[in-house]
Amino acid sequence: MVEQYRTFVDGVRRRAGLAESEEAGRAAVAVIEAVAGHLDGVDRAQLATALPAAVRESVHWDVPEQRTGQQADLVAETARTADVAPENARYLVQAVLSEISAEDRAVADTLRHRLPDEFAEMFTAPGGGPPPDRSSAATHPRPFDDDELRRALAELDGWSGTRERISREVFLPRDRWRPLLNQVERAQAELSHHASVEERPESLVFSLRTRSVDSVTELDLALARQVDDAVGSVGSGG
């Protein structure tokens, strides 16, 4: 049971770009309570089954039903409970719900159907974590350990490496290289973090590490997600 809690909370921490597991645990409880307000008793019980016991037992399940159907209300309630700014609360909601999706897809799919349609996008992992100027990961990058790196690479598309550096080789027609690099450059500016790019005869190789700690951190995972999104967009003609 302890391992289930550690895995869940660590997943939330990485997805949200938080520095501490305790902070991620509190965020998870705040989000679950806010989501529970939009569910009836049966659906709350099903949500509870997808959670580690330590999280489940910390949630106040008797919160009043809201049923407003508005994302803004869910985000506002999370912001109030977690005592964070609304823009950060949205990232917390996405981090928690996407981690539930990864842990128990059946429960997540049921919740998507029970919650208003407007909530569906909240089950998608945040695109690179919280805003860079508010992210703990950006101001205090922490090297991944071996297990964190393994889990991070499993989330990504075609990346490999060690705790010191991760890389992805991308094969696209040359006329798609510039659009891809343009998108990556915008992502780098947004995250205030940069990739090393090697141009080979038939491919581009993106390499990531956080220089300040000479290791792979959440910042690199955030940018890797953005690179993956850019490759998907450019490769499909975007």
pLDDT in tens, 80-128: 888 887 778 888 999 999 899 888 888 888 888 888 877 888 888 776 4
Give the whole-angstrom CA distance, residue 192 versus residue 218.
13
17: left (phi over 0), alpha (psi -120 to 50) or beta: left
Domains along the sequence of the chain with CATH: 2-128 (1.10.490.110), 141-235 (3.30.1360.20)
pTM listed for this prediction: 0.54
pLDDT in tens, 158-167: 999 999 999 9
Chain centroid, CA 156 distance in Å: 12
Which residue is associated with the tokens 């997540």?
108
